[in-house]
């Protein structure tokens, strides 16, 4: 056995994840036994890790002595029996419940009862996995992210019968391995993969509804909302044959929670073999590993025009954009007969907004106000906006060099819909006590590289605005996927932070 600070760690499965976990365990000072059903897979993994730590030493990210020590701590285990000396075993075999259950049965037979058995599964139920074991209290999830050495997050997942001390010990081990551990209760997709559905499913739904093309959704989410990768670039990286089955698993485990309803379009593209980078064709084509990003069409030439801005919270900023463009600003109380009408709705589609406000829908154009018209502007038509009205509005909005993306009518444009879904799912994670608000934001930023956590997004943009967007989406579509839920509704009503935690009722 290792010391309490540096336990002896067994790892089953030496694939992409197992080798990464082995590397960070060894560089953290743990003795590591690595086993794979394919003996040569273990050899390859050990050579790979050796190369990684040597390179880290060359680049002076670790000392030569530390690299040598990490290599010395790594050993090949021919069989699971070798794990008898382990304090913790981490299972990282393929994502298959039957296979994992067999591995856990073998691990139970091979290890001491005090040994923790942890799974790196991304989407299978920890409670179900534990239920197949004779000691479910020592089974937990220990969910790392790919590539492990570069992704600092690890979710430590308690099944229904997991002993709290097992979670405490895994949290400590996560720290020893140089990770940031977050405590998560067992739930479909745990914390991070649950919230991640908001990004990719809502984006795919938008494309399926014909609102915008893949590439336009990516541009908006990168430039306006500040995401490092657009949802479709991300899907191409993770591959649809991983993401879509995980979505189905999360949907089934949640007894068909509408927020997790898989996207039909994603299933079809998976069946068509458009998996992403690994098949050289996903939402983008890949040539020599390089994404072929279509060139952005130029904005139409500026034709001037007269623009009237509907009064509201964002009117002054839009008026300023009109003035600065050189177009004429109609400052009348009502739009003059030939003025183009600019609206900035939250959660409503342009057609419904124009109808409710009594504006001429053929002259109405909506601009997304969510990110202050910065980074990239999304301009949306009603279903009857005249093409020349869209063209003039597009040109006017592009006069200061800001990229502009025209889209079809949608309740909540593109960014509003996606951000609202991320916040809504994050809020339901908090409501269901799957993790603390602080950990939800921290984990999503570290595990998914989002610019903000889901509750932080709600706070930055205003919980009341997120609720308004969700209510508008829900109203327009009638789809329960967009319902608000009590967490955000109450915090918006009271005007408090989306991270506000209700105290225990019994003092
Ligand atoms: P992988 O296919 O790269 O590696 C799986 C390894 O398990 C293979 O080397 C295989 O030979 C080995 N294996 C299969 N059956 C075995 C058995 N009975 N005994 C010992 N070894 C066996 O898969 P991966 O991407 O490393 O994923 C492993 C686990 O980690 C899965 O549960 C996956 O869902 C999860 N995960 C993956 C990622 C990711 O991005 N790849 C991220 C987080 C979690």
pLDDT tens column, 437-449: 999 999 999 999 9
As a whole number of angstroms, the distance between CA 407 and CA 350 comes to 11
Q: What is the pLDDT of residue 5?
A: 65
The arithmetic mean of pLDDT across residues 406-424, rounded, is 98
pLDDT in tens, 323-353: 999 999 999 999 999 999 999 999 999 999 9
**Ligand 1 centroid, distance to 168 Cα (angstroms):** 25
Strands 74-76 and 116-119: what pairing?
unpaired
Tell whether ligand 1 has an atom less than 6 A from the beta carbon of residue 152: no
**Sequential DSSP letters for 312-370:** STTHHHHHHHHHHHTPEEE-SSS--TTPEEEE--SSS-HHHHHHHHT--GGGEEEE--T
Give yes or no: 155 in active site: yes
Planar angle of CA 502, 505, 507, nearest 5 degrees: 110
Structure tokens at 125: 């139920």
Identify the band that residue 6 occupies on the pLDDT scale cut at 50, 70 and 90: confident
- pTM value? 0.95
The arithmetic mean of pLDDT across residues 214-236, rounded, is 98
Identify the band that residue 2 occupies on the pLDDT scale cut at 50, 70 and 90: very low
As a whole number of angstroms, the distance between CA 174 and CA 73 comes to 17
| 401: nearest Cα among 311, 325, 475, 288 | 325
From 119, 120, 122, 423, the catalytic residue? 122
Q: What is the pLDDT of residue 111?
A: 96
Q: What is the pLDDT of residue 317?
A: 98
Average pLDDT, the chain: 96
Q: What is the pLDDT of residue 329?
A: 98
Give yes or no: 122 in active site: yes
pLDDT in tens, 16-74: 999 999 999 999 999 999 999 999 999 999 999 999 999 999 999 999 999 999 999 99
Identify the band that residue 507 occupies on the pLDDT scale cut at 50, 70 and 90: confident
> Which secondary-structure segment (H or E) carries 24?
helix 16-27
Q: What is the pLDDT of residue 217?
A: 98
Give yes or no: 452 in active site: no
Residue from 10, 12, 14, 15 whose mutation best tests the ligand 1 pocket (most atoms within 8 A of CB): 15
DSSP one-letter code for 281: B
Q: Are residues 206 and 414 in contact, defined by beta-carbon separation less than 8 angstroms?
A: yes
As a whole number of angstroms, the distance between CA 283 and CA 264 comes to 15
The arithmetic mean of pLDDT across residues 182-204, rounded, is 98
| 21: nearest Cα among 31, 11, 30 | 11
Q: What is the pLDDT of residue 1?
A: 45
Q: What is the pLDDT of residue 175?
A: 98
**Ligand 1 centroid, distance to 450 Cα (angstroms):** 25
Tell whether ligand 1 has an atom less than 6 A from the beta carbon of residue 15: yes
Q: Between these two residues, 459 and 6, which has the higher pLDDT value?
A: 459
pLDDT in tens, 87-101: 999 999 999 999 999
The arithmetic mean of pLDDT across residues 395-410, rounded, is 98
Nearest CA owner, ligand 1 atom 4 = 15
């Amino acid at each position: 056995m290792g010391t309490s600070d540096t336990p002896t760690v067994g790892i089953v499965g030496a694939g992409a994840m197992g080798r990464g976990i082995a590397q960070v365990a060894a560089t953290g000072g743990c003795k590591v036994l690595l086993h794979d059903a394919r003996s040569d897979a273990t050899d390859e993994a050990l050579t790979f890790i050796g190369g990684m730590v040597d390179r880290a030493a060359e680049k002076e990210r670790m000392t030569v002595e530390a690299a040598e020590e990490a290599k010395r701590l790594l050993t090949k285990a021919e069989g699971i029996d070798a794990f008898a000396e382990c304090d913790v075993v981490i299972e990282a075999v393929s994502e298959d419940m039957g296979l994992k259950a067999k591995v856990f049965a073998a691990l139970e037979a091979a290890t001491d009862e005090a040994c923790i058995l942890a799974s790196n599964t991304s989407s299978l139920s920890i409670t179900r996995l534990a239920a197949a074991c004779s000691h479910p209290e020592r089974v937990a999830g220990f969910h790392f992210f790919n590539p492990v050495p570069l992704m600092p997050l690890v979710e430590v997942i308690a099944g229904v019968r997991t002993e709290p001390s097992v979670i405490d010990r895994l949290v400590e081990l996560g720290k020893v391995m140089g990770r940031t551990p977050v405590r998560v209760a067992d739930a479909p997709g745990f914390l991070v993969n649950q919230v991640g559905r908001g990004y990719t499913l809502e984006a795919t739904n938008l494309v399926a509804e014909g609102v915008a093309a893949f590439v336009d959704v990516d541009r908006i989410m990168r430039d306006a909302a500040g995401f490092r990768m657009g949802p479709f670039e991300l899907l191409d990286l993770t591959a649809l044959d991983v993401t879509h089955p995980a979505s189905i698993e999360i949907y089934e485990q949640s007894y068909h929670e509408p927020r997790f309803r898989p996207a039909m379009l994603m299933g079809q593209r998976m069946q068509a073999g458009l998996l992403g980078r690994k098949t050289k064709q996903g939402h983008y084509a890949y040539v020599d590993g390089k994404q072929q990003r279509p060139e952005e069409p130029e904005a139409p030439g500026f034709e001037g025009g007269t623009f009237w801005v509907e009064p509201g919270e964002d009117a002054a900023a839009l008026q300023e954009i009109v003035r600065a463009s050189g177009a004429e600003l109609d400052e009348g109380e009502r739009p003059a007969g030939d003025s183009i009408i600019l609206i900035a709705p939250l959660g409503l589609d342009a057609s419904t907004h124009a109808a409710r406000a009594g504006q001429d829908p053929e002259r109405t154009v909506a601009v997304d106000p969510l990110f202050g018209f910065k980074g990239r502007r999304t301009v949306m038509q009603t279903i009857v906006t005249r093409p020349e009205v869209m063209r003039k509005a597009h040109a006017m909005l592009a006069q200061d060099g800001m990229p502009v993306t025209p889209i079809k009518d949608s309740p909540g444009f593109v960014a509003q819909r996606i951000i609202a879904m991320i916040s809504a799912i994050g809020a339901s994670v908090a409501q269901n006590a799957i993790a603390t608000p602080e950990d939800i934001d921290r984990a999503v930023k570290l595990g998914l590289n989002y610019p903000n956590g889901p509750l932080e997004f709600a706070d930055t943009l205003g919980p009341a605005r997120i609720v308004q967007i969700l209510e508008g989406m829900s109203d327009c579509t009638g789809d329960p996927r967009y319902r608000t839920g009590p967490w955000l509704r109450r915090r918006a009503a009271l005007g408090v932070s989306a991270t506000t935690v209700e105290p225990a009722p019994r003092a």
